[in-house]
Chains A and B, each alone.
Chain A
Amino acid sequence: GENVEQHPSTLSVQEGDSAVIKCTYSDSASNYFPWYKQELGKRPQLIIDIRSNVGEKKDQRIAVTLNKTAKHFSLHITETQPEDSAVYFCAAGTQGGSEKLVFGKGTKLTVNP
């Protein structure tokens, strides 16, 4: 089955710096890669996703890149702000299969003011 590895497990940056979180997946059939943000005590919420027919997607300060050949994808947050502090989860899913997502173990991002 699919296996998703996520790194780093913790990341601390200064406000205004960029943050990058990387994930690798094992199943070459995976074609849907969402990122979820979970603030302390709250539910995970989708912040951006990418499908395998594109290599990059951007939404304001957040971007995701996908390298299908290498089977890895990354989340990039620019101009970080304290409210970006949260746990971020990557996931991989497959169209036409069971449609379930396999999640990485999460990255705790701390943005220091």
Chain B
Amino acid sequence: GAGVSQSPSNKVTEKGKDVELRCDPISGHTALYWYRQSLGQGLEFLIYFQGNSAPDKSGLPSDRFSAERTGGSVSTLTIQRTQQEDSAVYLCASSFIAGGPGTQYFGPGTRLTVL
């Protein structure tokens, strides 16, 4: 079936503008994750959704970052008042959790450039 999809694939914005990044997880996957990957760096956890539970927001770097997941499926990551240090690839992943951590399937990412 279809994998995790993200849109847009690239986003260039001006400092101070708000951006919205979208993630469509694999159908039936109960968990959804957002990560940030700066150039040549590792995967920085941002936020995690699991079913109807309250999201784990412990990785969000500031209150300019927020995310929501509607209907247990599509998720949107919003960055308000973007800064140049927000430039990175934002990766979404989803997994099916049944009794333990499941394989995370990653989307292709959104490359965000803040000028």
Contacts and interface: CB of A to CB of B under 8 A. Distances in A.
Contacts of A43: 91, 106-109
Contacts, number: 60
The 3 closest A-B pairs by CB, nearest first: A93-B101, A95-B100, A105-B42
B52 to A, nearest CB: 14
Interface residues of A, number: 26
B43 to A, nearest CB: 4
Given A95-B99, A105-B42, A100 B48 contact: yes
Interface of A: 1, 31-32, 34, 36, 42-46, 49, 51, 89, 93-96, 98-106
The DSSP consensus for interface residues of chain B is loop
Interface of B: 31, 33, 35, 41-43, 45, 48, 50, 56, 58, 91, 95, 97, 99-109
A101 B101 contact: yes
A63 B104 CA distance: 19
Given A44-B106, A89-B42, A51 B56 contact: no
Contacts of A45: 106
A100 B106 contact: no
22 contacts: A1-B58, A31-B100, A32-B100, A43-B108, A46-B103, A46-B105, A49-B103, A93-B101, A95-B99, A95-B101, A96-B100, A98-B56, A99-B95, A99-B101, A99-B102, A100-B33, A100-B56, A102-B45, A105-B41, A105-B42, A106-B41, A106-B43
Contacts of B31: 99
B48 A34 contact: no
Of A1, A32, A43, A94, most B-chain CB atoms within 10 Å: A43
Contact of B91 (A32, A44, A96, A98): A44
A57 to B, nearest CB: 14
